[in-house]
Amino acid sequence: MLCMNPTGNPHPELAHAREAAARFLRYHHQSDRVYLEAEQLLSTEVSVTTPAGESDTILLTGFVDRVEQDPSGRLVAIDLKNMKTAVPTGKIPEHGQLGVYQLLLKERQSSKEVEPGIGAALVQLRVEDTAGMPKVQGQPAIDFERSPTWIEQRLGEAAEIIRNETFIPIPGEECRFCSYHSVCPTKSGTIFQPLPPADHDLVDSAAGDPHD
Ligand code: SF4
């Protein structure tokens, strides 16, 4: 049974899920931003310059968990997270996923002057702040008037890697969740280990080359 452990008590994950749902409801009702929509498919074309100086156009498509509007009229992309720990704060200002979400909302942003604020945020449903709300990790709104922005530069680098097919594995924290761990050349036990010589190779080698 999914929701009960062998002692008959509710599974701890069920309790965590309930707490996360309660935090989400508090967030939904108490946030100063207005909920607009959820799970909408968004797409946009982005012009980027690769590190080699070539121009490229990238079609971005994706779903954003929620789109909200702050009191000044700015749209804010929200990604709901269900992880046990929040993303390190230092990674939020250039968090790639949030940056892509800001690009997806770029064309819908109001042209009127808006207050400085966040353009996207992770809402950590399993991490509570001191007020009992889910921890909100906001990314400052990207000023797309000052192109190329950090996210456009990052996409330009990605475009160059894909066009050149030069995929160099760089070990990092992501390795823990990577689906390619077993075939990654940076990991021990990779399937690309050299094979031992076959029996007939050993025989040929011992007998010497008949054409000598
Ligand atoms: S296991 Fe290899 S391919 Fe996967 S994230 Fe780590 S370095 Fe990259």
- For strands 134-140 and 118-128, give the pairing: antiparallel
Q: Is residue 6 part of a domain?
A: no
State in Å, rounded, how far the first CA of the chain is from the last one. 72
By percentage, how much of the chain surpasses pLDDT 70?
84
Q: Is the CB of 174 under 6 A from ligand 1?
A: yes
Do 51 and 139 reside in the same domain of the chain? Answer: yes
Range of the domain at 186: 177-207
Q: Is residue 212 part of a domain?
A: no
* Ligand 1 atom with minimal separation from the 175 CA: 6
**Quick check: 53 and 163 in contact, CB under 8 A?**
no
Do 84 and 47 reside in the same domain of the chain? Answer: yes
Atom 6, ligand 1: which residue's CA is nearest?
Answer: 175
Calculate the average pLDDT of the chain. Answer: 86
Q: Looking at residue 100, what is its pLDDT?
A: 97
Q: Is the CB of 190 under 6 A from ligand 1?
A: no
Instruction: Kindly report, residue by residue over 60-103, the tens digit of the pLDDT.
Output: 999 999 999 999 999 999 999 999 999 999 999 999 999 999 99
Domain count, the chain: 2
- Supply the pTM of this predicted model: 0.78
Residue 199 has pLDDT above 50, yes or no: yes
Name, of 108-112, 121-125, 200-204, the range with top average pLDDT.
121-125
Q: Looking at residue 81, what is its pLDDT?
A: 97
Could you tell me the distance, in angstroms and rounded to a whole number, from the CA of residue 126 to the centre of ligand 1? 27
Rounded to whole angstroms, the Cα distance separating 39 from 86 reads 22
Q: Name the token pair of 99.
A: 């940056």
Could you tell me the distance, in angstroms and rounded to a whole number, from the CA of residue 9 to the centre of ligand 1? 39
Rounded to whole angstroms, the Cα distance separating 207 from 71 reads 85
Do 192 and 102 reside in the same domain of the chain? Answer: no
Do 198 and 116 reside in the same domain of the chain? Answer: no
Do 30 and 104 reside in the same domain of the chain? Answer: yes
